Structures are given as structure tokens and as C-alpha cells.
Amino acid sequence: MAESGVGQRALELSDVQGIVDVIQLAENLKTEMRHSWLSNGRQESVAEHTWLMTIAAVLMSPYLEHPVDLGHTLKLIALHDIAEAITGDIPYFEESSRKDTKLQDEAEAMKQMQAMLPSASGELLLALWREYEDCETPEAKFARALDKLEVQLQHNLADMQTWTEQEFGLVYTKMDAECAYDASLRALLAVIRSRAEHKMIQAGHDPSAIKAAATLTKVTSDEAPEIPRA
């Protein structure tokens, strides 16, 4: 897919208006709050989560076992949560009907945005979002790993009082699968996890006990038979 615009027809006024409309819609991500808190006690926005992922991508990309196109990775990161401008953010651990339909709802939101844009922009927007969700390319795998890692890094910076009970166990269960394929990502994970454990110890918690409980819960969950959907 051509991304440079070379050979594309000239933009019409309606095309530019559509692009501006989607940019304005994306502004919602500046005020859409996640279940993460900043070091100053304020909740993190989706836009801030995305921004910190880009910093991590720039700094880590030279060291990956599996090289990536950094520019393409940054496009995936920039757009990976854009559907939440319409659907809103849903915490990782939430159990609800809206969580059950999350991917379907986000796909519909992406189609809405695609329809607002001129064809080249709309097709590119949708293709990048799908690439991230499919997680098959080196760039998508890198971006998805950073998505999980940023969450824990941000939790490490927040007051321990903001951690939910589930978030203690997620230190040991949420990041490994996405980082397992690359030694540099595993090293980054190790440092982030170590700092989470240090934070737990300072607050009077036992990381070993939390890890054992979280690992047991994950194994039990993984081995449970899948309940077929109606």
C-alpha cells in the first residue's frame, strides 16, 4: 500500500475536512482515562500511554533480536488505541459484557473512522489497526510487547494505593507471553518486574507469595475447559 501520497489524486476540500474530523475525534484520547495512575496522583490518559510507548520503542529498537522498521512501529503504536476515541478504554482485568464485545466494538469504530476519511487515509488507518491486532509482523509484536510493559512501568511509578488486587498478580502473568520471543524485551521486562517487586517489598508485601498465587491461578485458568459460546 502506498503511504507517501505519490500518485494519489489531489485532496478535495471534503477530504481535508474528513481528516480534520478524525484528528478532532482522536483528541478524545487526551481525556479518556485508563486504570493507571501517574506519579503525581493523576490518572493516565490513553494518549499519554501511547506517547510513553513511543519513547520506549525509540530507545529499545536498536537492541532487538528481530529488527523492526521503527517508523512503521511508531505508526502502529500511534493508532493502536485510536478506536477508544469512540469506544472508551476497558481495563485489562474487567469482566463485563462490554469486555466480551471489545474487539467487535473497536472494529466497528475503526470502520466509522475509515468512512470519515478519504480512501487512502482510511485504508491505511484500518490496515495499521488490523496489523496490530493480528500481531504477526515484527513491528506489531514489538508494539504489543511495549503496550503491556508500559502498563507495569506506569504502575511502578504510581502510589501503591492505586493498585487493585488483580494488579499485584499481573506483575507475573501479563507481560511474559508478549516478551518471550526477544532477549532484549525479556531484559526490559526483568528490570520493570524487579522494580515492581521492590515497590511491593517497600509497601510490606511478599513478592514470592504473590508470584506463587498468581502463577497457580494462571495455570488453573489455562487448564480450565473452554466454555462454548451460545
pLDDT over threshold 90, residue 143: yes
- Tell me, what's the pLDDT at 7? 55
User: 3 or 51: which carries more pLDDT confidence?
Assistant: 51
- Tell me, what's the pLDDT at 92? 85
- Tell me, what's the pLDDT at 3? 57
CATH of the domain spanning 13-222: 1.10.3210.10
pLDDT over threshold 70, residue 224: no
- Tell me, what's the pLDDT at 2? 45
CA atoms of 70 and 64, how far apart (whole Å) = 11
pLDDT over threshold 90, residue 151: yes
- Tell me, what's the pLDDT at 218? 63
User: 202 or 221: which carries more pLDDT confidence?
Assistant: 202
pTM: 0.90
Please state the φ and ψ torsions of residue 34, each to the nearest 5 degrees: -100, 170
pLDDT over threshold 90, residue 1: no
Q: Tell me the three cell numbers of residue 153.
A: 512501568
pLDDT over threshold 70, residue 227: no
- The 3-state DSSP composition of the chain as helix, strand, coil percent (nearest 5) reads 70, 5, 30
Cα–Cα distances (Å) from 63 to 44, 57, 90, 185, in that order, read: 28, 10, 32, 9
CA atoms of 205 and 161, how far apart (whole Å) = 12
CA atoms of 17 and 118, how far apart (whole Å) = 9
Percent of the chain residues past pLDDT 70, beyond the cut: 91
User: 226 or 101: which carries more pLDDT confidence?
Assistant: 101
b/e code 189-204 from CB counts within 10 Å (16+ = b): beebbeebbebbeeee
Task: Delimit the domains of the chain by residue range.
Answer: 13-222
pLDDT over threshold 90, residue 63: yes
- Tell me, what's the pLDDT at 206? 98
Average pLDDT over residues 133-142: 98
CA atoms of 99 and 206, how far apart (whole Å) = 31
Contact assessment for residue 189 and residue 149, using Cβ atoms and an 8 Å cutoff: yes
Mean model confidence pLDDT for the chain: 92
User: 202 or 7: which carries more pLDDT confidence?
Assistant: 202
